[in-house]
């Protein structure tokens, strides 16, 4: 399950839409930050107050414990802010997400939950298309988004909410899936309805992502409604702030949405430094102590939005290895191939471990310690046997490896083969 707080469930708004506490400086925050691209003053947290942002991040990390349900929003925010200070917390969050997907499946998940998991895995440089060999979250989300759109066509409302449909569109857009139909439907609905602040902000992020990718001539038919929808959503967000219908938990997403628009706003007497000083004052007074509120505001404080999850640096930390096991010698023959990702510098044994974790049915293995080092004695239940002189031989392409699985270090895009052989 996702976090038990109501705002963490994507099937409804992150928090109830009510007229609660509203910061008097909120409109100025929005205007000043959104105008930052055209102003000479940079919208960055002063060095002497960076500790407040660091403390906000540390507080979010402390909310992540072994027994807690997976919270993709916190993982996204922490990664956008540069990663967790305690590396084990990121691994724990990723593991919690993957465990839930594997143990509970995706059938009962809403489309928005799947979309959040995709964004979270992307932010941690994990491939949502390969949670396991049999679970491709992008395919799952594509089908669930089609269900949302079909329901929308008959009932004038999606199967869940427009907030979730916006999340779906954003996640699929970042994965470069075909989202033209979803984006066009979302734009038309945004023009016909008045979205809440959170829904409008998420729709803005999604439509901005799609708009940036519209380069083909045949896609021009959806450019105009998307452009019109973005303009209306931007004005709605500003008006909601003015009329105090945006609350503490909405301000973060509102900042993200307006920060990706290309329109400059008049900032009046507000300077960026004054605006950020007020934001940081509210942080110091505990306004964002709730982990979900912190997760929404943190990306904007470091100049990031959900659109940045695919721009995080991943390639230097991981290597991709194609791993194939082949038995054409004894018993039932088989050939299985799986791509796996392991940390750079990992030994071959880590590849076997990752393959077994992704697909234990085909890539299980056993090892024995010998005087020559660790030896693989069985793969996919096919065991080596000294009586018939069989063993598992490893190759880099067509070249036999001259090192054992506990010492050989594969390089990126290497093809490792394990072949059941005779000596």
Which tens digit of pLDDT belongs to each residue from 257-293?
877 875 544 444 323 355 466 667 888 888 888 888 8
165 marked as binding residue? no
Name the helix (H) or strand (E) containing 339.
strand 334-343
Q: How confident is the model at residue 7 (pLDDT cuts 50, 70, 90)?
A: very low
Greater model confidence, 10 or 412: 412
Distance CA 107, CA 128 (A): 16
Neighbouring C-alpha atoms within 13 Å toward the C-beta of 13: 17
For residue 31, give Cα distances in angstroms to 92, 234, 247, 259, 275.
37, 11, 17, 9, 9
pLDDT tens figures, 104-159: 999 999 999 999 999 999 999 888 999 988 899 999 999 999 999 999 999 999 99
To the question of whether residue 198 is assigned a binding role by annotation, the answer is: yes
137 annotated as ligand-binding: no
261 is in an annotated binding site: no
Domains in the chain with CATH codes: 6-311 (1.50.10.20), 318-422 (2.170.130.30)
Q: Are strands 414-422 and 390-396 parallel, antiparallel or unpaired?
A: antiparallel
What's the CA gap between 10 and 257, in Å, rounded? Answer: 17
pTM: 0.67
* Annotated binding-site residue? 423: yes
Q: Residue 32: is its pLDDT beyond 60?
A: no
pLDDT at 242: 64
SS3 350: helix
> According to the model, what pLDDT value does residue 359 have?
86
What pLDDT does residue 28 have? 45
Q: Is 161 annotated as a binding residue?
A: yes
Place of tokens 């996702």: 2
The distance from CA 298 to its chain's CA centroid, rounded to whole angstroms, is 15
Residue 160 assigned ligand-binding role: yes
Report the greatest alpha carbon distance in the chain. Answer: 87
Residue 181 makes CB contacts below 8 A (sequence gap 6+) with 149
């Amino acid at each position: 399950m996702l976090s038990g707080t109501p705002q963490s469930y994507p099937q409804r708004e992150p928090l109830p839409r009510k007229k609660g506490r509203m910061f008097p400086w909120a409109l100025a925050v929005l205007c000043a930050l959104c105008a930052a691209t055209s102003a000479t003053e940079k919208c960055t947290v002063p060095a002497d107050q960076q500790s407040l942002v660091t403390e906000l991040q540390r507080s979010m990390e402390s909310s992540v414990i072994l027994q807690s349900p997976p919270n993709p929003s916190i993982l996204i925010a922490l990664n956008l802010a540069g990663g967790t200070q305690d590396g084990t917390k990121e691994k724990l969050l990723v593991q919690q997400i993957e465990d839930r997907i594997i143990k509970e499946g995706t059938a009962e998940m809403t489309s928005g939950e799947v979309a959040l998991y995709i964004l979270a895995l992307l932010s941690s440089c994990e491939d949502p298309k390969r949670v396991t060999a049999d679970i491709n979250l992008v395919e799952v989300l594509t089908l669930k988004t089609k269900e949302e759109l079909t329901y929308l066509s008959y009932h004038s409302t999606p199967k869940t909410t427009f907030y979730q449909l916006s999340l779906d569109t954003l996640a699929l857009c970042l994965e470069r899936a075909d989202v033209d139909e979803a984006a066009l439907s979302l734009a038309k609905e945004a023009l016909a309805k008045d979205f809440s602040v959170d829904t409008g902000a998420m729709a803005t992020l999604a439509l901005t992502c799609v708009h940036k990718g519209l380069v083909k001539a045949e896609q021009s038919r959806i450019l105009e409604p998307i452009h019109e929808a973005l303009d209306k959503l931007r004005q709605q967000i500003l008006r909601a702030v003015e009329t105090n219908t945006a609350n503490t938990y909405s301000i973060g997403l509102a900042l993200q949405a307006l920060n990706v628009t290309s329109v400059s706003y008049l900032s009046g007497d507000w300077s960026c430094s004054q605006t950020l000083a007020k934001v940081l004052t509210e942080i110091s007074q505990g306004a964002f102590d709730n982990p979900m509120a912190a997760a929404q505001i943190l990306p904007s404080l470091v100049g990031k939005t959900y659109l940045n999850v695919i721009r995080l640096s991943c390639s230097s930390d991981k290597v991709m290895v194609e791993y194939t096991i082949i038995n054409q010698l004894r018993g039932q023959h088989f050939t299985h191939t799986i791509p796996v990702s392991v940390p750079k510098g990992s030994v071959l044994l880590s590849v076997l471990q990752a393959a077994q974790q992704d697909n234990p049915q085909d890539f299980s293995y056993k090892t024995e310690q010998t005087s020559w080092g660790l030896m693989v004695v069985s793969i996919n239940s096919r065991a080596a046997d000294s009586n018939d002189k069989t063993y598992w031989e490893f190759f880099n392409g067509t070249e036999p490896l001259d090192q054992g699985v506990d010492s050989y270090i594969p390089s990126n895009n290497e093809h490792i083969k394990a072949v059941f052989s005779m000596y």
